[in-house]
A and B are shown apart, each in its own frame.
Chain A
Amino acid sequence: MNALKRAVLSFSLAAAVAAPAAFLAPPAALAESALQYRQAILQDLDPSSADRLLKSDADRAAVRAALPADSTAIFRQAAELKDLMDMLGAHSDAATLRRALTARPAPSELFTQPAKLLGWTQRHAGASYDLVRAVVWDWDKLTREQAAWLSPQVTRQAWEAMTLPKRHEHMRRWGQAIHERLMKAAPKTQAEVDRMRQEYAAVRGAISHDEAVDISRRLTMASRSITALGDVQSRLSKLQDPALKTMLDQARNARDMETTLSTLSKIYDRMGVANGSLKAVAPAEAGQTLDAGSRSTLAKALGPALMRQVRGTTAGDDLAEFYKTHELKIAVAPRKAIATYDDGTRTITFSEELILELVKGEGLTVSQFLSRGDAFGRAAALLAPVFTHEATHQMQSEWARAQKISDQSGQHRELEAMMVEALFTNEKMAVDPGFKAVTEGAADRSLLAAESLSLAESLRKNRTLFRNKIIADHYPELNSLEANLWCGITFNLMLVKELQDEITRRRRLPIAEQGRLARGPPFPKPGMTQAEWSQALRKVGTPFLEDQVKRQRETAGAKAEDYDKSRDRLAQADRKVAQAMQDLAQGKRPGRKASGVPPP
């Protein structure tokens, strides 16, 4: 056996015996292990120890028993370290990693102080050092354009002392200036589109997601209009139609992109040639807009059509069961995301733009679309995977309510919903030739269809990559499960500090004043804003402050239990999907499995 094999084997064995040892070890050894964890996590910021502690219920019980005063801080720090390490493992792109880092809602020195983050990365994730330098806008990693834009305002020394949010604020201003310019651009040649695309790629990491979508949408319109201009030119060269040639000139010389697209769309109509891809981005024609009435009619028709589509699959059977006791509410409204679930109104909303794209892609008006069963059925088939995703969010929310845990959004919820959706597409493609034909047929013109296929195949190929893609590409700005834990505890501990500061302040007041404040009212209501909280803090009775300290500490401590429940639910969903995919590979017919993720 060579040295390498010996090294691997000895450490594998060490890991394999670690958990049972924790159960069997005498109390002194548990305390020793707890002290080691405290040192490793709070002092050394060691991500391996953090990962191990979060995975081991026995070790966490040991830490809680041996170090009751520190255990919440240790769990908080462990979650933060795991969160950071998972981010580094999932992201390859500085722009999305920066979005993830800067989106965490609680203050953390590690996440906001570039020097601290770089020092930690060098010690614990050396291979990611270069990427993290780009993420924190390291001075030496700025492009020439970025440095030239910054230099009149900020010195290198000032930049190096700045927090990541401050640096990002500067770079956002640089990005927004470019965003503004690109949004007015109307490129007329492929070379101009390519230049615009390069600028977009350079600025993508400095602007918001919505701003990036705006530019990207503009690029799509430009790109499709240029392709169509070339296509029309070539078709017209074979026709003798002066009127159409005049229209082509009008399209080419139009000052704005919208006029170019609508003129091209009219040319295709007059030539009797279908061009769903151009029409999908062209301005709406008569009858291709939605009003309150048609939105409501569409929404009412979509519910039953979608439930018919999902029938006979694992997701479909779960949803049929769920909607026996819960209301299915569908809406159609303007949205940047293609669909959303709102737990306040318990409604699944599809993007109006997406629906109109399907309507325009069919070359129909809204009323024709609604009355023609075949076109509406095709749209329902294309929307069905996304429906299973959003409906899973509704099930998750009901489950969270039943478990009495706060229903926090996060990557764990999206990961489960994406797995359900991808499994649905895999199963439906296998059992429903009609769905298969519609989806495959639409894949060339509908990105919704193409992306459903890609997601389904990605789940089948490699689940680690599937998970990373969801975290890094789909939802970088959402909290991970660990972020919910450490950010939640951070807020609770901040409140505890504010409460304690107020109690200390009161103790220094004259006795009469202390007596008056002791008789103060209770906190007015749960769910206060920051300003309301600060005001209430000065007025409420001192015993209520002391009670609140206790409550906040208990809430912080209970967050680890919420974390366990959500983590276990995700693990259960993962096993269920893996089993269903294996069954599918073996040719078994899909359907509800006994080992399902717990219904609410």
Chain B
Amino acid sequence: MTRLAAALLAFSPWAWGAAPGRKPAAPEEAVVSNPSFEFRLPKGWRPAPTEDGSALVLGQAASDGASTFVSVSHFPEGGGEYKDAAAYLARYQGPRPVKAASTKTGPVKACRVGRRPAKGFTEDSVEFIPPRSTDTKKVPVREEHVVLEHGRGFYVLVFHASSADFAKRRPAFQRILDSFQPK
């Protein structure tokens, strides 16, 4: 078994099942993979279970309580919510049925996922911490959305972190972008 395959077994127990009792090998190299894509997991980050074919990896929460994560979704052609990558970008750039006044979306800019050209934008909003309390606080958060067209569909990688921590945590997202491989 290759090192990479051993790592895959260790990190994807929800994507496919091992036979009862089979123990995952110790991870030698952290890779998150599913049938649509794979990427390397930054040190200190953790994969979370998902059931919809997307991937979610968690970083350490910020001291202000805001969550840190990267989500990766694949939208195959004709797959439902978005017709294509342009529709995804337009949804965020145009008027939305639900959008708080404090949510500010930046313009679309060219960027890269590994060596592939992509498009991205940032969005500033707030998280409510603790939620649903008579004393909730608004904590500013920033998201970076990167949209990669590939084959007949497209991929969206979203990095979410506290605005105060965004720059410090951004290199982890860059590692994910650099290692991202669509399938």
Closest to B14 in A: A51
Residues of B bordering A, CB below 8 Å: 1-2, 4-5, 8-11, 13-24, 26-27, 30, 33-35, 38, 41, 44-52, 54, 56, 58-61, 63-65, 67-69, 71, 73, 80-81, 96-103, 125-138, 158, 183
Cβ B100 vs Cβ A454 within 8 A: yes
Chain B residues lying within 8 Å of A130, measured Cβ to Cβ, are: 44
A125 to B41, CA, bound (A): 14
Contact with B along A354-382 (1 / 0, CB 8 A): 10010000000000000000000000000
Cβ B16 vs Cβ A12 within 8 A: yes
Cβ A3 vs Cβ B4 within 8 A: yes
- Partner among A4, A46, A86 whose Cβ is within 8 Å of the Cβ of B20: A46
A445 to B115, CA, bound (A): 45
Return 5 A-B CB contacts under 8 Å, by A number: A93-B67, A204-B65, A213-B133, A462-B73, A464-B71
A:1-58 near B, CB below 8 Å: 3-5, 7-9, 11-12, 14-15, 18, 33, 36-37, 39-41, 44, 46-49, 51-53
A460 to B134, CA, bound (A): 25
A15 to B56, CA, bound (A): 21
Q: Chain A contact residues: over half helix, strand or loop, or mixed?
A: helix
A:328-374 near B, CB below 8 Å: 335-338, 351, 353-354, 357
- A8-B33, A39-B21, A44-B23 known; A443 vs B102 contact (CB < 8 Å): yes
A9 to B4, CA, bound (A): 14
A430 interfacial by beta-carbon distance below 8 Å: yes
A46-B20, A201-B63 are known contacts; what are 17 more A-B pairs with Cβ within 8 Å?
Answer: A3-B2, A7-B8, A8-B34, A12-B16, A40-B21, A46-B23, A48-B22, A89-B49, A93-B61, A123-B23, A127-B41, A217-B135, A219-B137, A336-B133, A440-B100, A447-B128, A454-B100
- A39-B21, A451-B128 known; A4 vs B136 contact (CB < 8 Å): no
- A18-B17, A338-B132, A451-B136 known; A444 vs B65 contact (CB < 8 Å): no
Smallest CB–CB gap between B149 and chain A, Å?
Answer: 20
Cβ A453 vs Cβ B100 within 8 A: yes
Smallest CB–CB gap between B56 and chain A, Å?
Answer: 6
Chain B residues lying within 8 Å of A201, measured Cβ to Cβ, are: 63-65
A216 interfacial by beta-carbon distance below 8 Å: yes
A409 interfacial by beta-carbon distance below 8 Å: no
- A213-B133, A336-B133, A465-B71 known; A454 vs B52 contact (CB < 8 Å): no
A53 to B19, CA, bound (A): 11
Cβ B130 vs Cβ A582 within 8 A: no
Cβ A443 vs Cβ B100 within 8 A: yes
A456 to B96, CA, bound (A): 12
- Partner among B22, B46, B98, B136 whose Cβ is within 8 Å of the Cβ of A426: B98
Chain B residues lying within 8 Å of A584, measured Cβ to Cβ, are: 97
A:410-448 near B, CB below 8 Å: 425-426, 429-430, 440, 443-444, 447
Closest to B145 in A: A461
Cβ A338 vs Cβ B127 within 8 A: no
- Partner among B8, B69, B134 whose Cβ is within 8 Å of the Cβ of A92: B69
Selecting from A100-108, A243-251, A295-303, A466-474, the interface stretch reads A466-474
Residues of A bordering B, CB below 8 Å: 3-5, 7-9, 11-12, 14-15, 18, 33, 36-37, 39-41, 44, 46-49, 51-53, 85-86, 88-90, 92-93, 123-128, 130-131, 201, 204, 209, 212-213, 216-217, 219-220, 335-338, 351, 353-354, 357, 425-426, 429-430, 440, 443-444, 447, 450-451, 453-454, 456-457, 460, 462-465, 468-469, 472-474, 582, 584-585
Q: Would you list the 10 A-B pairs with minimal beta carbon distance, nearest first? A: A40-B21, A93-B61, A89-B48, A36-B20, A7-B5, A127-B46, A11-B16, A48-B13, A217-B135, A92-B61
- Partner among B102, B129, B131, B132 whose Cβ is within 8 Å of the Cβ of A444: B102
A90 to B49, CA, bound (A): 8
- A93-B61, A337-B132 known; A450 vs B102 contact (CB < 8 Å): yes
Smallest CB–CB gap between A248 and chain B, Å?
Answer: 27
- Partner among B10, B98, B125 whose Cβ is within 8 Å of the Cβ of A429: B98
A86 to B41, CA, bound (A): 19
Cβ B132 vs Cβ A474 within 8 A: yes
Cβ A39 vs Cβ B16 within 8 A: no
A131 to B2, CA, bound (A): 28
Smallest CB–CB gap between B180 and chain A, Å?
Answer: 14
Smallest CB–CB gap between A278 and chain B, Å?
Answer: 15
Chain A residues lying within 8 Å of B61, measured Cβ to Cβ, are: 92-93
- Partner among B30, B49, B54, B100 whose Cβ is within 8 Å of the Cβ of A457: B100
Cβ B135 vs Cβ A36 within 8 A: no
A374 to B6, CA, bound (A): 64
Closest to A440 in B: B101
Chain A residues lying within 8 Å of B10, measured Cβ to Cβ, are: 126
Cβ B48 vs Cβ A90 within 8 A: yes
- A36-B19, A36-B21, A454-B125 known; A12 vs B35 contact (CB < 8 Å): yes
Closest to A353 in B: B134
Closest to B56 in A: A464
A457 to B47, CA, bound (A): 24
Smallest CB–CB gap between B9 and chain A, Å?
Answer: 8
Cβ B135 vs Cβ A126 within 8 A: no
- A4-B2, A4-B33, A429-B97 known; A49 vs B132 contact (CB < 8 Å): no
Smallest CB–CB gap between A212 and chain B, Å?
Answer: 7
A33 to B1, CA, bound (A): 25
Closest to B54 in A: A464
- Partner among A88, A209, A444, A464 whose Cβ is within 8 Å of the Cβ of B51: A464
Chain B residues lying within 8 Å of A357, measured Cβ to Cβ, are: 134
A431 to B117, CA, bound (A): 39
A357 to B129, CA, bound (A): 18
Smallest CB–CB gap between A25 and chain B, Å?
Answer: 13
Chain B residues lying within 8 Å of A585, measured Cβ to Cβ, are: 81
Smallest CB–CB gap between B138 and chain A, Å?
Answer: 7
Closest to B10 in A: A126
Cβ A451 vs Cβ B131 within 8 A: yes
Chain A residues lying within 8 Å of B63, measured Cβ to Cβ, are: 201
